């Protein structure tokens, strides 16, 4: 049997450190026609920008999980923090954003600089996204 080189446990510690530093952002969106809400003839520019900001977060190593009330209702019921927010504020609580299992924002989509601050990242310039829908320009 081949022996593994002894690195003094450094590789194990490095892997553990990498996993401990991963940030997870969960977004619980109101009911929308598609997973991002960037579809149909009347596209909300805030949702287009937020989708671009989430792509940027992913490029920074953030794990992004997005749930749409119309497509993933079980996720809303199964999460106690989201269920509590909905009980207290109704649909006005949406979107609910959880960062590493804690409520980070409710009722609005934060801008890139706010997301960056929450995650201790340095925000880069926000590109102006092109207007295109998830449905190829048609309606969902």
Domain assignment of residue 13, yes or no: no
Per the structure, the complete domain to which residue 74 belongs is given by 23-118
CATH number of the domain where residue 112 is located: 3.40.30.10
The helix (run of H) or strand (run of E) holding residue 102 is: strand 102-106
pLDDT in tens, 80-112: 999 999 999 999 999 999 999 999 999 999 999
Domain assignment of residue 98, yes or no: yes
For residue 48 the two structure tokens come to 């287009």
Q: Is residue 139 very low, low, confident or very high in pLDDT (cuts 50, 70, 90)? A: very low
Instruction: Count up the domains in the chain and report the number.
Output: 1
Domain assignment of residue 126, yes or no: no
Q: Give me the DSSP letters along 9-32.
A: THHHHHHHHHHHT--EEEEEEPP-
Average pLDDT, the chain: 80
pTM: 0.73
On the CB side of 48, CA atoms within 13 Å amount to 14
The yes-or-no verdict on residue 10 having pLDDT over 60 is no
How far is the C-alpha of 109 from the C-alpha of 55, rounded, in Å? Answer: 14
Domain assignment of residue 136, yes or no: no
- Residue range 40-64: mean pLDDT, rounded: 89
Domain assignment of residue 137, yes or no: no
């Amino acid at each position: 049997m081949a022996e593994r080189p002894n690195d003094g446990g450094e590789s194990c510690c490095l892997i553990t450190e990498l996993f401990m530093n991963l940030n997870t952002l969960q977004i619980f969106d109101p009911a929308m026609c598609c997973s991002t809400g960037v579809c149909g003839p009347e596209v909300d520019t805030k949702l287009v920008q937020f989708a671009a900001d989430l792509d940027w977060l992913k490029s920074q190593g953030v794990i992004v999980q997005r749930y749409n009330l119309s497509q993933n209702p079980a996720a809303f019921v199964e999460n106690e923090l989201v269920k509590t927010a909905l009980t207290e504020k109704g649909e006005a609580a949406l979107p609910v954003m959880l960062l590493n299992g804690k409520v980070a924002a409710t009722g609005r989509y934060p801008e890139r600089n706010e997301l960056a601050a929450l995650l201790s990242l340095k925000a880069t310039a926000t590109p102006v996204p092109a207007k295109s829908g998830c449905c190829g320009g048609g309606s969902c």
